[in-house]
C-alpha cells in the first residue's frame, strides 16, 4: 500500500540540506547554525521546493533538547546547582521580569492589548536552552564558571516558565477584557508549585539513589547496547514523567535525570557512550526554527521586528551583564553570560502558540516573534565570538599585570634581607592581616586544593623546602584544624572564583589539585587560569584517559603543567623495587622505569 514516509523524508531533507548549507556557512566564515536556520527556511512551508513536515520536525527537535539537557546534567551535579544559586536566582528572575515588563510596555504602545502584552513579555524574557548551551559548548565554555551559571540560569528560567504557562490560561479571560466576575484563579499556580517541589524532592531523595543504582546494575551485564538503551530510557522516561505527572518541561526533567547520575561513578560512561545522536537532533532544532519563519513578515512588519531584536539582543544582554557583574563580581563571566542570553527561541514559540489558541494574539504577532527569534539566534554567534575576543583581551591585561607584579616583587626581594632573616612559613601565617582567612594580595606561593593523604604529603614537602602555600579545603573540620596550628587555610569550594581569589590565585606560582573527582578538578583549573592565565598546574588523575585529557587541557595557552596518573606511578615504583631486588643497579632500574614511563598505559 503506497504511503508517504513523512518521518524519514523530514529527517533526510532536514539533515541533508542542513549539512550542505552548514558547510557553506562554515566555508565562508559564518557559524554553521546560520546554515541550519537557512536549511529550515528552504524545507519550510513558506518557500517553494521541498516541504518537510513541520510537526515531525518540532517533535524531533524536542528530542534533541531532551538529550542535550540530559548531557548537560551529566556534567553538572546538584551540588553545582546549589553553588550558583546566589547569582542565578535573583539574576534570572530580575532579568526575566524586567525584560518582560519592557516588552509588555512596547506591546501596549503598539496597541496589542493586555493579552498581546503578556504574550510578548513572556516570549522575549526567557532565552533558548539549545542556543545558549550549543554556543558555550562550541567554545569549550560549558564547564567554565559562566557555563555553570548559564545552566543554573536556564533551570531558574525553566521553572519560571512552568508557572507562566499555567498562569496564562487562567488569566486569559481577564486579559481578553472579560466582564467582572471572571477573575484569575490562583489555584492552578499553587498546584503547579506543589508539583515542582514534589518533582525536585523526588529526584533529590529518590532519583539520586535509584537511577545510578539501576545503571550500575546494567553496566555489570557487560552489554554496551543494553547500557545505552538504559541511559536513553532514563533520559526520555524521566523527561516524560516530569512533563505528564508534574507539569515540568521535558528538558528540565531530563536535566535532573542527568544531574542525579553525575555524582555516580557511571556518569563518564553515560556521557561518552549513550548520547551519540544528540548533536544531530540539536541540528534539527535549528532546522525546525527556520521552518516556522515566513520571510514575507519582514517586509510587512520591519519596525516591530527591529525594535524587538534590539530589545532581545542589546537590552537583554546589557541587563544580564549588569546583573551578573553586580551579583558575582566577575566582569569576564558577566560578559560571556550577557552575550549568551541575547536570544530567544523555543519558549517563545510555546508561549505564542498558546496565546493564539487562547485568542490573546493573532497569527501576525506569532510571525513577528518567530522572525525576532530567528534573527536573534543568527546574531548570537557573532556576539559570543566578540565576547570571547574581549574576554581574551581582559585575560591578557590581567596576565600583564601579574607579570609586572612578579617583576616588582622579585626586584624587592633582591633588595630585601636574606632568607635566614625572613620569617618562616608558620610565623608568616600568624602575621596580622585585614582578614585572617583571606590572602588576595599574596604572590609567588602555592595554592594546594585538597588536604587529604595526597595533599598533606605535598604540603609537608613544601614546608620542608620553606615554600609558602595556602590550602583550600572543602571540609571545615580540616581547614579549621590547619588554622588552629597557624597554617594558611581557606574553607570553601575551589571551583568558585571568589574562593580561589581569597587564596591569592592571581599571584600564585603553582596550583596543585589533589581532589579525586576529575570533573571538579577540571573546573578548578578552568577557574584558576581565568584569574591567572599563565599559572603552572599539577593535577592528580586516576586513569590513562584522564591523564591524556588533563595533559591536553594543561597545554592550553602554552602554560606549564603536569598530570600525574597516581596508580601508574605506584606501579612504576613497585617495578623499580622489583628490579633492584634482582640485582640491577639504581641507574639500570631508573633507565628501565624511564622506558616504561614513555610507553602508553596498557588497557585493563
Contacts 24+ apart (CB under 8 A), 230-239: 231/270, 231/273, 231/274, 231/275, 232/274, 234/261, 235/66, 235/67, 235/70, 236/63, 236/66, 238/203, 238/207, 238/211, 239/66, 239/70
Chain segment 485-524, per-residue pLDDT in tens: 778 888 888 888 888 888 888 889 999 998 777 777 888 8
Mean pLDDT value of segment 136-150: 75
Average pLDDT over residues 162-168: 81
* 385 and 431 belong to one structural domain: no
Instruction: Express each pLDDT in 281-299 by its tens digit.
Output: 778 888 888 888 888 898 9
- Domain harbouring 236, CATH code: 1.20.1530.20
d(CA 441, CA 23): 49
Closest to 87 (Cα-Cα) out of 163, 139, 148, 133: 148
Do 165 and 64 sit in the same domain of this protein?
yes
- Average confidence (pLDDT) over 151-174: 83
Q: Among 281, 254, 285, which Cα is nearest to 270's?
A: 254
Residue 487 lies in a domain: yes
445, pLDDT greater than 60? yes
pLDDT digits over 308-346, tens only?
A: 999 999 999 999 999 998 987 777 788 889 999 999 877
| pLDDT over threshold 80, residue 213 | yes
Give the whole-number percent of the chain exceeding pLDDT 90.
Answer: 15
pLDDT for residue 154 = 86
Any domain includes 35 = no
Q: Report, in angstroms and rounded to the nearest whole number, the Rg of the chain calculated over CA atoms.
A: 28
| Residue 356 sits in the same domain as residue 445 | no
Q: Are residues 108 and 248 in the same domain?
A: yes
- 383 shares its domain with 459: no
Whether residue 564 sits in one domain with residue 431: yes
Residues 349 and 462 in one domain: no
pLDDT of 63-110, one tens digit each?
877 877 787 777 666 666 677 788 889 999 999 999 999 999 999 999
How confident is the prediction for the chain on average, in pLDDT?
A: 80
Q: What is the pLDDT of residue 110?
A: 95
Q: Which domain holds residue 474?
A: 425-598
Among 346, 371, 394, the domain boundary falls at 394
Task: Kindly report, residue by residue over 232-281, the tens digit of the pLDDT.
Answer: 888 888 888 888 888 877 878 888 888 888 766 676 666 666 556 677 77
Mean pLDDT of 451-455: 84
Residues 137 and 212 in one domain: yes
As for how many domains the chain has, the answer is 2
Vertex 347, ends 346 and 348: CA angle to 5°?
90
Evaluate whether residue 112 is within a structural domain.
yes
Judged against a pLDDT cut of 80, whether residue 227 lies above it is answered with yes
Average pLDDT over residues 20-27: 89
Higher pLDDT, 199 or 594: 199
Indicate if 88 and 224 belong to the same structural domain. yes
CA angle 207, 213, 214 (to 5 degrees): 90
Give Cα separations from 252 to 77, 86, 157, 246 (angstroms): 14, 20, 10, 11
Amino acid at each position: 500500500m503506497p504511503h508517504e514516509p513523512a518521518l524519514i523524508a523530514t529527517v533526510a531533507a532536514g539533515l541533508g540540506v542542513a549539512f550542505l548549507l552548514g558547510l557553506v556557512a562554515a566555508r565562508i566564515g559564518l557559524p554553521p547554525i546560520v546554515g541550519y536556520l537557512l536549511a529550515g527556511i528552504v524545507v519550510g512551508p513558506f518557500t517553494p521546493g521541498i516541504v518537510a513536515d513541520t510537526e515531525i520536525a518540532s517533535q524531533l527537535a524536542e528530542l534533541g533538547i531532551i538529550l542535550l539537557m540530559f548531557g548537560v546534567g551529566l556534567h553538572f551535579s546538584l551540588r553545582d546547582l546549589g553553588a550558583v544559586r546566589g547569582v542565578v536566582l535573583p539574576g534570572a528572575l530580575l532579568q526575566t521580569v524586567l525584560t518582560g515588563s519592557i516588552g509588555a510596555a512596547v506591546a501596549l504602545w503598539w496597541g496589542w492589548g493586555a493579552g498581546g502584552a503578556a504574550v510578548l513579555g513572556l516570549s522575549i524574557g526567557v532565552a533558548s536552552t539549545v542556543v545558549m548551551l550549543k554556543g558555550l559548548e562550541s567554545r569549550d565554555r560549558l564547564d567554565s564558571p559562566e557555563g555553570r551559571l548559564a545552566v543554573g540560569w536556564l533551570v531558574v528560567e525553566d521553572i519560571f516558565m512552568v508557572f507562566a504557562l499555567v498562569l496564562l490560561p487562567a488569566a486569559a479571560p481577564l486579559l481578553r477584557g472579560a466582564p467582572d466576575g471572571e477573575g484569575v484563579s490562583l489555584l492552578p499556580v499553587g498546584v503547579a508549585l506543589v508539583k515542582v517541589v514534589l518533582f525536585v524532592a523526588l529526584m533529590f531523595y529518590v532519583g539520586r539513589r535509584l537511577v545510578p543504582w539501576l545503571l550500575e546494575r546494567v553496566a555489570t551485564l557487560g552489554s554496551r547496547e543494553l547500557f545505552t538503551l538504559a541511559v536513553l530510557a532514563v533520559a526520555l522516561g524521566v523527561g516524560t514523567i516530569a512533563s505528564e505527572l508534574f507539569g515540568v518541561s521535558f528538558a528540565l526533567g531530563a536535566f535532573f535525570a542527568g544531574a542525579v547520575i553525575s555524582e555516580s561513578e557511571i556518569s563518564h560512561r553515560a556521557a561518552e557512550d549513550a548520547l551519540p545522536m544528540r548533536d544531530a537532533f540539536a541540528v534539527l532544532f535549528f532546522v525546525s526554527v527556520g521552518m516556522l519563519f515566513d520571510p514575507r513578515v519582514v517586509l510587512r512588519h520591519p519596525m516591530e521586528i527591529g525594535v524587538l531584536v534590539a530589545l532581545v539582543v542589546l537590552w537583554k544582554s546589557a541587563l544580564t551583564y549588569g546583573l551578573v557583574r553586580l551579583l558575582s563580581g566577575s566582569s569576564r563571566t558577566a560578559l560571556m553570560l550577557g552575550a549568551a542570553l541575547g536570544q530567544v527561541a523555543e519558549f517563545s514559540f510555546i508561549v505564542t502558540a498558546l496565546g493564539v489558541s487562547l485568542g490573546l494574539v493573532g497569527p501576525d504577532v506569532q510571525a513577528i516573534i518567530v522572525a525576532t527569534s530567528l534573527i536573534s539566534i543568527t546574531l548570537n554567534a557573532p556576539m559570543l565570538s566578540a565576547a570571547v575576543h574581549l574576554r581574551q583581551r581582559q585575560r591578557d591585561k590581567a596576565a600583564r599585570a601579574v607579570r609586572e607584579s612578579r617583576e616588582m616583587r622579585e626586584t624587592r626581594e633582591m633588595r630585601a634581607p636574606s632568607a635566614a632573616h625572613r620569617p618562616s612559613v608558620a610565623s608568616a601565617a600568624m602575621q596580622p592581616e585585614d582578614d585572617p582567612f583571606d590572602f588576595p594580595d599574596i604572590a609567588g606561593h602555592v595554592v594546594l586544593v585538597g588536604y587529604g593523604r595526597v595533599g598533606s604529603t605535598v604540603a609537608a614537602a613544601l614546608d620542608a623546602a620553606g615554600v609558602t602555600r595556602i590550602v583550600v579545603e572543602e571540609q571545615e573540620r580540616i581547614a579549621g584544624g590547619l588554622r588552629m596550628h597557624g597554617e594558611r587555610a581557606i574553607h570553601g569550594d575551589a571551583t568558585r572564583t571568589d574562593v580561589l581569589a581569597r587564596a591569592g590565585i592571581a599571584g600564585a606560582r603553582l596550583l596543585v589539585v589533589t581532589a579525586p573527582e576529575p570533573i571538579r578538578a577540571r573546573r578548578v583549573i578552568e577557574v584558576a587560569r581565568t584569574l591567572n592565565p599563565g599559572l603552572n598546574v599539577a593535577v592528580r588523575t586516576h586513569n590513562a584517559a584522564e591523564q591524556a585529557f588533563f595533559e591536553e587541557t594543561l597545554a592550553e595557552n602554552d602554560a606549564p603543567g603536569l598530570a600525574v596518573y597516581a596508580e601508574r606511578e605506584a606501579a612504576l615504583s613497585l617495578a623499580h623495587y622489583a628490579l633492584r631486588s634482582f640485582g640491577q643497579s639504581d641507574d639500570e632500574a631508573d633507565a628501565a622505569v624511564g622506558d616504561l614511563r614513555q610507553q602508553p598505559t596498557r588497557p585493563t
